[in-house]
């Protein structure tokens, strides 16, 4: 097999892999965003419990959800990658780090450990954003 054929095969695999990362990261972010509309009091409790931001009303949480929805839809579409992929990385990174006490006994929650592979996926997708061409609106 020639070097060009091997490179072409890897290029396709990389594009599909990055696409799957983008879709699955979107699905997680979408669930968190929808929760802000379905149960804004939960969003307010998260702001208070993890980020020490008390007094956030339901309207503020829903406004945050609306802005987040615009961001994640642009992310899903592969638009403005430097900014949308970067913001997704920052937001998920902050969420992962804000949960630091869930990784330490006695409050260990194994569910919170799933944030780490997703953080790695966000970093990978951000670093390789120029190679993420599958089903994007910006090439």
* Number of compact structural domains in the chain: 1
Q: What is the pTM of this model?
A: 0.89
What percent of the chain stands above pLDDT 70?
98
Residue 106 lies in a domain: yes
Instruction: Decide if 124 is inside a domain.
Output: yes
Question: Domain for residue 42, yes or no?
Answer: yes
- Asked whether residue 83 is domain-assigned, the answer is yes
- Average pLDDT of the residues of the chain: 91
137 in a domain, yes or no?
no
Domain assignment present for residue 10? The answer is yes
26, part of any domain: yes
pLDDT confidence of 34, banded at 50, 70, 90?
very high
Whether 118 maps to a domain, the answer reads yes
- Report pLDDT digits (tens) over 55-112: 888 898 899 999 999 999 999 999 999 999 999 999 999 999 988 888 888 878 888 8
- Tell me, what's the pLDDT at 2? 66
**95 lies in which domain range?**
3-131
35 to 41, 57, 58, 134: CA distances (angstroms):
9, 15, 12, 28
Please give the Cα distance from 93 to 100 (Å, whole number): 11
pLDDT confidence tier of residue 136, bands split at 50, 70 and 90: very high
**77: its two tokens:** 């579409």
Cα–Cα–Cα angle for 46, 47, 48, rounded to 5 degrees: 90
Among 121, 25, 20, 131, smallest CA distance to 72 is for 25
């Amino acid at each position: 097999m020639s070097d060009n054929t091997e490179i072409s095969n890897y290029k396709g695999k990389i594009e599909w892999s990055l696409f799957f990362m983008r879709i699955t990261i979107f699905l997680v972010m979408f669930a968190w965003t929808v929760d802000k509309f379905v149960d804004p009091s939960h969003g307010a409790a998260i702001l208070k419990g993890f980020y020490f931001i008390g007094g956030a009303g339901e309207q503020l949480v829903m406004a945050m959800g609306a802005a987040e929805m615009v961001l994640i839809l642009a992310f899903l579409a592969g638009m403005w990658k430097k900014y949308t992929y970067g913001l997704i990385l920052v937001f998920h990174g902050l969420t992962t780090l804000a949960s630091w006490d869930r990784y330490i006994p006695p409050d260990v929650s194994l569910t919170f450990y799933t944030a780490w592979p997703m953080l790695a996926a966000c970093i990978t997708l951000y670093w390789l954003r120029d190679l993420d061409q599958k089903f994007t609106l910006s090439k």
